[in-house]
Structure 1
Amino acid sequence: MRPVRQCTRAACSRAAVATLTYVYADSTAVLGPLARVAEPHSYDLCDVHAERLTVPRGWDVVRLASDFVPAPPSEDDLLALANAVREASRTPPAQQVPAQRPVGGRPEPVTHHLDEPHLGDGEITRRGHLRVLRGEGDE
């Protein structure tokens, strides 16, 4: 199913129904039906913004259509939707395993590795970039 293209105007979430392109050499704006594919130098507009279109002074507007209506879903869209539903029904839902807490709700004690040669002065153990230092009462 192809996604619905939205109006490119800021803060507008309506579906696009028209495509606007500029011909700078002729100072012309061309407003026509929604293009099949989105082009980087064109603008998709909803029906409200397509009707309110204004251009700079001295420019011409060529309207290739007078009414812009959203295209109905095509047969391809309906088949893609049906296939997606079939695929989703075949896939078993993910098993969610609840997180297990340690017995008694306390974390496991840190194992002290006092005989490791790479530990610095006063270090008890390292885990990655973290290290446990010997405290005043740990001697």
Structure 2
Amino acid sequence: MRTCSRTACARRAVATLTYVYADSTAVLGPLATFAEPHAYDLCDQHSERLSAPRGWEVVRLSLGTQQQGPSGDDLLALADAVREAARPVPQPVVEQPRESGREVARKGHLRMLTTE
């Protein structure tokens, strides 16, 4: 059980608050599956009284329809990603350049050829 992130609040967390600084937006949604370092878990009282700084927008996602485990769409997306990752990547055929002439000298991986 995770508790509210607010100081001196020991109530059970029911929502997760994240900030999108680039858009000046605070997003309050269902409790995240895992505790994230840049997200704040809030109890029901603190999530209802949430306010954002002046000029910021608060987006509240529905908390009442929280379900346990992934949705059907999540599972299908995961299955598609696994199939895509397992698909073999065709290797391009690289043709070796044809040599014209004969080798006269060599230094390391470099060769000097005569033109005939």
TM-score range, shorter chain: 0.5 to 0.7
Given that 1:20 and 1:30 are in contact with CA atoms closer than 8 Å, whether structure 2 keeps it comes out as: yes
In 1, the alpha carbon distance for the partners of 2:9 and 2:47 equals 12
Aligned residue among 4, 7, 15 for 1:7: 4
Whether the aligned pair in 2 keeps the contact of 1:47 and 1:68 (CA below 8 Å) is no
- 1:40-119 alignment runs, 5 A limit: 40-65=37-62, 67=64
Q: CA deviation at 1:16?
A: 0.2
SS of match in other structure, 1:62: strand
Q: Which whole-Å CA distance do the structure 1 matches of 2:14 and 2:65 have between them?
A: 6
RMSD of the TM alignment (CA)?
Answer: 2.2
Amino acid at match of 1:6: T
Aligned match of 1:24 in 21, 24, 27?
21
Identity rate, percent: 68
1:67-120 per-position Cα deviation (integer Å, ceiling 9, x unaligned): 488x89x9xxxxxxxxxxxxxxxxxxxxxxxxxxxxxxxxxxxxxxxxxxxxxx
The residue number in structure 2 matching 1:37 is 34
**Partner amino acid, structure 2, of 1:8:** S
Q: 1-side partners of 2:56 and 2:65: how far apart?
A: 22
Which secondary structure does the structure 1 equivalent of 2:45 belong to? helix
How many residue pairs get matched?
69
Please tell me whether Structure 1 or Structure 2 has the larger radius of gyration of its CA atoms. 1
Structure 1: give runs of 5+ residues left out of the alignment: 75-139
| Distance in 2 (alpha carbons) for counterparts of 1:67 and 1:59 | 24
Moved over 6 A (4+): none
